[in-house]
Chain A
Amino acid sequence: MNLQFVVDGLLTGSMIGLGAIGVTLTYSILRFANFAHGDFMAWGTYATLAVVGAIGAMVGKVAPIGALSFGWPLIVALIVGCVLTGLMALALDAVLFSRLRSRGQSIIVVMASFGASMALRSLLEFIFTSRPAYFSRAIQIAMPVGFGIRVTPDQIALLVLTAVLVAATHLMMTRTRTGRSMQAVSQNPALARVVGIDVARVVRATWLLGGALACVAGVMVGILVQIRPLMGFDMLLPMFAAAILGGIGSVPGAVLGGLIIGLAEAAAVQFVGAEWRAAVSFVILMAVLLVRPIGLFGVKER
């Protein structure tokens, strides 16, 4: 049996998991399903691509780092892209979501996010066209690591980056004042205000964090696959499935959910057929909702 699907699944799962962190935080803290989250990924990726292009125009061609396919400009551009995506999420909240949220009907906010998703995607196609773009067209040689598995340097670097980001996000959520405040607001916003937590500040932190992680997830897709305006929308169902599978509000749960879905998709491609790949996250989502609606790490309140 060829175990290559394990690496493919872990990589897909990492992208889904990083994106799902933003979905699960938005869902638990702002109490709505943000359908525009996938488009934050796409916008973050295109923003990063634009900054890479701008750096290239200023300093010329830069050699890649070691065996990787990219050099320092992509790292700098990714940081800028994360900030820009976070700011875009904040701006969208200020002009749209916060106004609707204050009216207290979450279904209206969900529908607004669906509209925002379509608008953002169309705008992206208008600016960049729907033709695929790439951070690098260099071909990487995959190294054998045993058991018939081959991994490229980019894949290793991105898996390590995912692990670092997930650990950092989890520590931030559990050990810092901002993380505790986010947990408090997700459990009881009114009580959070009473104990002195500025809920508006927590909402801003949620958008910034969710937007930044969506950008990283998108750039991972861009490095390993390709960049398209639809790249985020295509990830939407797997991201929601991962967030629900992991338990709404749980950062480790979202990542584990992402990894499970990524591995299940890769296994489906290998053992069942590529045409079943898209159905896997839907089937997992349905199964979780029927069997354990609170998800793997979800906690039932007493």
Chain B
Amino acid sequence: MSGPVLQVRDLVAGYEPGVPIVRGASIRVERGEIVVVLGPNGAGKSSFIKAIAGLVPVSGGQVLLEGQDITAVPAHRMVGMGLAFVPQTENIFPLMSVEDNLRTAGDILEPKEAARRIARMYDTFPDLKAFRRTGAGNLSGGQRQMLAVARALIVEPKLLVLDEPSAGLSPKFVAMVFSMLSDIRKAGLTILLVEQNARAALAIGDRAYVLVEGKDAHEGVASDLWSDPVVAELYLGQRPQPPKGGAA
């Protein structure tokens, strides 16, 4: 299918009626891309991505997934339509085993197909296989993120949407998570992520948007955006330094 995987047009969204946090943001994600949404604290990045995933009420604009309007679709139906979302925190069921966490996602599939895909996830993430019977609450931060991503991938989504996958992780786990995302993209998946860790995200991203006060203020190729002094200083909050190839 031609055309962008995701197209968001003039999205307006917020938790309270009449109090929009996202104020007319537009982005486009092409097939096979990693697109990064950056911005200062309070820019509405998380609300923006949650509105796309159906978790924040939308009061204006349009979200199209492969041309299909998914603006008013309830969050629980997004997965079936091909959009898998990984929240920033509390993105696993801590009192369930690793396997049951994966099964919750596989429950929208035929049981045999779900079992096949869970087995494939264990091949992709051998760490998870080793802990399959372990309570997910006992996993490390990096392993939890791995489990959350694996669970999202089980449905073989058209688009993987992640909200700050590096949040709360040590530098070692941040590198692991971004390396994992890079590998997933190489397998052909399209990824949209919101991230505070601009250096790491831009190092693996193709294009990026900078969100300011709930609206897309800048768009560009990830590496160019990093070296844009205005963007770097105003919105990323740091002096530009070229990324050192690969995950940070």
Partners in one complex: yes
Q: Do B104 and A184 touch (CB < 8 A)?
A: yes
Q: Do A196 and B94 touch (CB < 8 A)?
A: no
| B120 close to A (CB within 8 Å) | no
Q: What residue of chain B has the Cβ atom nearest to residue A299's Cβ?
A: B95
Chain A 170-200 per-residue mask, 1 if CB under 8 angstroms from chain B, else 0:
0000000100110110011011111111110
Residues of B within 8 A of A192 (CB): 76, 104
| Distance of A188 Cα from B89 Cα, bound (Å) | 11
Residues of A within 8 A of B151 (CB): 195
Which parts of A135-189 form the interface with B (CB within 8 Å)? 177, 180-181, 183-184, 187-188
Query: A196 contacts which of B87, B93, B105, B135 (Cβ < 8 Å)?
Result: B105
**How many B residues touch A, CB cutoff 8 Å?**
30
Residues of A within 8 A of B76 (CB): 192-194, 196-199
Which parts of A265-302 form the interface with B (CB within 8 Å)? 299, 301-302
Q: Do A302 and B100 touch (CB < 8 A)?
A: no
Residues of B within 8 A of A302 (CB): 94, 137-138
Residues of A within 8 A of B85 (CB): 194
Q: What residue of chain B has the Cβ atom nearest to residue A177's Cβ?
A: B107
- How far in angstroms is the closest Cβ of chain A from B140? 11
Q: Do B91 and A183 touch (CB < 8 A)?
A: no
Q: Do A183 and B107 touch (CB < 8 A)?
A: no
Residues of A within 8 A of B64 (CB): none
- How far in angstroms is the closest Cβ of chain B from A184? 5
Q: Do B104 and A197 touch (CB < 8 A)?
A: yes
Q: What residue of chain B has the Cβ atom nearest to residue A187's Cβ?
A: B93
Query: B53 contacts which of A183, A184, A194 (Cβ < 8 Å)?
Result: A194
Q: Do A194 and B95 touch (CB < 8 A)?
A: no
Residues of A within 8 A of B (CB): 177, 180-181, 183-184, 187-188, 190-199, 299, 301-302
